[in-house]
Structure 1
């Protein structure tokens, strides 16, 4: 049976405690507003409406990105990799849905960072187990030889590394793995106005664009292309300079 890539329904399942907390805030705010007066009543009612609005807008944005956009079809990839994938490494965090569609080109290696630091990651891994071809890895140790890969993919994996040092180590390892002229493809939600508007406080789980530019630059990688996918996701291409 062919696995359907995760959509809005799965996003809610993976993160159900957060959605439950948002719903509880909306209900509590609405209930409190009935017992309060004046400014406090208006504040409680406004908070309830805001919580309910973010719940609805986050699900709608996830549906647009994961169910309706070109994200999972990878039709956007030639804009970043006009010469194709070549030999490539897919680095997975908690949920690997990139290796299968990318496996049709070149030789593929899958590195699994084995992240289970949050409930959402554990639920995602339970539903979509790592590929049997995946090799266990760490941010500071990827299972490939130096200068052996044409492309390295980080698709919704790097933001799960919450410590700056881990992100820096991962990007340094990606740079080590790349051949001169090779590309790192990073796909992430970024913390910007669009994502903050629809995900509300949830957008603080994303990192700003400046953080990805920082860790890439520290690893000696330079930005070469950038593309928006489904309004709320950004795909970056960072190149290792030719020798």
Structure 2
């Protein structure tokens, strides 16, 4: 059977889906370096230093992305602690993505007896990044994926054993909308069951990795506020890598 992920697929996807940024950086650095010999000092020196910093920042970002998405074992899903799954033969799993789904097939393979429902809250009116559009063209949706609004999850109360949100929830940029969405997650989650959230945070390690790109992520305090407003507790918080945080959430009153 062909492997679900190819070597270096993670960092290659970042390059090809965001190629406009890398092309712009290459053109900028090349143009500045070509112009620097014709400028007087100290401008020529400053241009060389600036060009080196842009190049270094780009290479560091790609190296860290390579580590996270290709070398850390992220997509082996071994970081998902077995204790989040109930002791049932056919657990009910819900996996929710923001338009680019790299995990549903892996979850189905990891938990073959589970009943897996997949939702996609991508909204072309709100999620206008060209990178997501390229990713959606490159990778078809998981079979049976249902498009939803973050305002309403089409599931009954107390339905799911585990809800997975892997690098998706930060795409809900509006805090009120994010709070409402997590309130919906609380509603559909069975008492005593779990939400598994994996995210980058707007923190020092991610600033060092992605420079100003870390503003695309939410701060830990912002997530804590959302969890509290939605009536959710943190049952466990761990670092999968220095750049990614795994929150395991439960309904208020359930911390196991």
TM-score (norm 1): 0.90
The one of 89, 96, 102 equivalent to 1:91 is 96
Q: Counterparts in 2 of 1:70-219, with a 5 A limit? A: 70-78=73-81, 81=84, 83=86, 86-103=91-108, 104=111, 105-116=113-124, 117-219=128-230
SS at match of 2:247: strand
Residue 202 of structure 2 contacts residue 218 of structure 2 at CA under 8 Å; is this kept in 1? yes
Relative distance call for 1:82 and 1:150 in structure 2 (3 A) is: closer
Q: Distance in 2 between matches of 1:70 and 1:80?
A: 19
- Counterpart in the other structure of 1:57: 60
Q: Deviations over 1:194-236 (max 9, x none)?
A: 1111211222222222221121111111112122223322111
Measure how far apart 1:84 and its partner are.
Answer: 6.7
Q: Distance in 2 between matches of 1:192 and 1:31?
A: 36
The answer for unaligned runs of 5 or more in structure 2 is none
Residue 135 of structure 1 contacts residue 143 of structure 1 at CA under 8 Å; is this kept in 2? no
The answer for unaligned runs of 5 or more in structure 1 is none
Residue 85 of structure 2 contacts residue 162 of structure 2 at CA under 8 Å; is this kept in 1? no
Q: Determine if the alignment matches structure 1 residue 241 to structure 2 residue 241.
A: no
Q: Distance in 1 between matches of 2:140 and 2:157?
A: 28
SS at match of 1:58: helix
- Counterpart in the other structure of 1:7: 10
Residue 69 of structure 2 contacts residue 75 of structure 2 at CA under 8 Å; is this kept in 1? yes
Q: Distance in 1 between matches of 2:87 and 2:181?
A: 23
Q: Distance in 1 between matches of 2:82 and 2:205?
A: 22
Q: Distance in 2 between matches of 1:43 and 1:164?
A: 40
Relative distance call for 1:43 and 1:172 in structure 2 (3 A) is: farther
Aligned residues: 243
Q: Distance in 1 between matches of 2:121 and 2:191?
A: 24
Q: Determine if the alignment matches structure 1 residue 69 to structure 2 residue 72.
A: yes
Relative distance call for 1:153 and 1:44 in structure 2 (3 A) is: same
TM-score (norm 2): 0.86
Measure how far apart 1:102 and its partner are.
Answer: 1.5
The one of 15, 21, 32 equivalent to 1:29 is 32
Tell me how large the CA RMSD over aligned residues is: 2.2
Find the structure with the greater CA-based Rg.
2
Residue 110 of structure 1 contacts residue 134 of structure 1 at CA under 8 Å; is this kept in 2? yes
Residue 85 of structure 2 contacts residue 161 of structure 2 at CA under 8 Å; is this kept in 1? no
Residue 23 of structure 1 contacts residue 51 of structure 1 at CA under 8 Å; is this kept in 2? no
Q: Deviations over 1:163-214 (max 9, x none)?
A: 2232222211111111112211111111211111121122222222222112
Q: Distance in 1 between matches of 2:206 and 2:47?
A: 24
Q: Distance in 2 between matches of 1:222 and 1:181?
A: 11
Residue 80 of structure 1 contacts residue 237 of structure 1 at CA under 8 Å; is this kept in 2? no
